[in-house]
Amino acid sequence: MSLSALKTFKNPRAKYNFEGRSCSITGVGSYVPARVVTNADLEKMVDTTDEWITSRTGIRARRVAASDEYTSDLAAHAATRAMQKAGVKPEEIDLIILATITPDMPFPATACIVQQKIGAYRAAAFDIEAACSGFIFGLEIGQQFIMSRTYNTVLVIGAEKLSSIVNWTDRNTCVLFGDGAGAAILQNRPESHGLLTACMGSDGQKADLLSMPGGGSRCPASTQSVAAGLHFLRMDGKETFKNAVQAMHNAAKEVLRRCELDITQIKCIIPHQANLRIINAVSERLGATPEQVFINLDRYGNTSAASVAIALDEAVEGGKIVRGDLVLLVVFGAGLTWGAAVIEW
């Protein structure tokens, strides 16, 4: 949709931000590790089959980082590519927001380590933790700094090394997850609406559906916690599936309502890449066509906070999204958390 056509629709931010600037994504980048682990590889590790994994998840392969390749490394590679595409130098970055559930260490923030690796020494830097919803949460947080004129250039990254917290003997979870990172540069682009609106939500009553019990103040690392497998990801698959479909559908409908848009006016829908059945169920409820929905789940699996960011970069690189198109991002993650955003590209 052209910019002139978009102007006939409602920008829900306008009535709240009379002096604010719009915030656009001016560059995206992604990075995945070199090692590919296929379903055939997993057949040799756990009691599973390629047919079982593919039919239930849509995943055929995932990337796994090397033992000496950390979340900060994946994030730095993705950030560098986004900066190059946006024409931004390290010294121009004002703020780095890194979304992850697999930081290099509990502290300092992995964003600070990324700052050092990319040479963005004048930037403030911090991590956020909203699991698979983290990238959209990061976009919405970063946008506030652009709109308020506090900062001119914000780097938002979603990065995960989920292979470090996956139990590779648990066939129900190890088949689902992969490693990777995606990044976006946020700036004001004159005459562009950019990020039109976003919604975020959480339900802590369902926090136990997807979690890693060990490693925090509730259950510090010990011989007993390691032996009990408390430092591995745990998931109630059936309940997570049910809640994911409902939350993603509701979030998508809410952002479309705010902008007074119909799903047919969205050029590209990028859902969280967790499970093909979830994606299909949400798409069907929204009335979306297969041509509208971008999917790379089969090649990467669920990369949590990196998922939507990697897909967004690949959609842009593949020509699925061009300037002026309307894009819908929609996610769901542990917490429980969820979110959606409408963007004029």
What is the total count of domains within the chain?
2
Residue 2 lies in a domain: no
The predicted pLDDT at position 2 comes to: 37
Residue 124 lies in a domain: yes
pLDDT above 90: residue 69? yes
The predicted pLDDT at position 20 comes to: 74
Residue 5 lies in a domain: no
pLDDT above 90: residue 12? no
Across 118-141, average pLDDT: 98
Residue 9 lies in a domain: no
Residues 92 and 116 in one domain: yes
Residues 160 and 234 in one domain: no
Residues 56 and 77 in one domain: yes
Active-site residue identified among 11, 77, 272, 275 = 272
Cβ neighbors of 15 (< 8 A, separation 6 or more) are: none
Domain that holds residue 160: 16-191
- Share of the chain residues as helix, strand and coil, in percent rounded to the nearest 5: 40, 25, 40
Residues 20 and 72 in one domain: yes
Residue of higher predicted confidence among 265 and 17? 265
Q: Is 132 a catalytic residue?
A: yes
pLDDT above 70: residue 137? yes
- Look at 39-43, 116-120, 122-126, 190-194 and tell me which has the smallest mean pLDDT: 190-194
Residues 186 and 269 in one domain: no
Residues 185 and 68 in one domain: yes
Q: Is 302 a catalytic residue?
A: yes
Q: Is 272 a catalytic residue?
A: yes
Residues 165 and 288 in one domain: no
The predicted pLDDT at position 6 comes to: 47
Encode pLDDT of 174-229 as tens digits: 999 999 999 999 999 998 899 999 999 999 999 999 999 999 999 999 999 999 99
* Angstrom distances, CA of residue 291 to CA of 96, 203, 295: 34, 32, 10
Distance CA 330, CA 340 (A): 4
Distance CA 305, CA 160 (A): 7
- Both tokens of 224, joined, read 């007993």
Active-site residue identified among 23, 112, 132, 268 = 132
Reported as a pLDDT band with limits 50, 70 and 90, residue 5 is: very low
Domain CATH for 145: 3.40.47.10
Residues 256 and 297 in one domain: yes
Distance CA 241, CA 274 (A): 10
Residues 24 and 164 in one domain: yes
pTM over 0.85: yes
Residue 306 lies in a domain: yes
Reported as a pLDDT band with limits 50, 70 and 90, residue 15 is: very low
Residues 167 and 205 in one domain: no
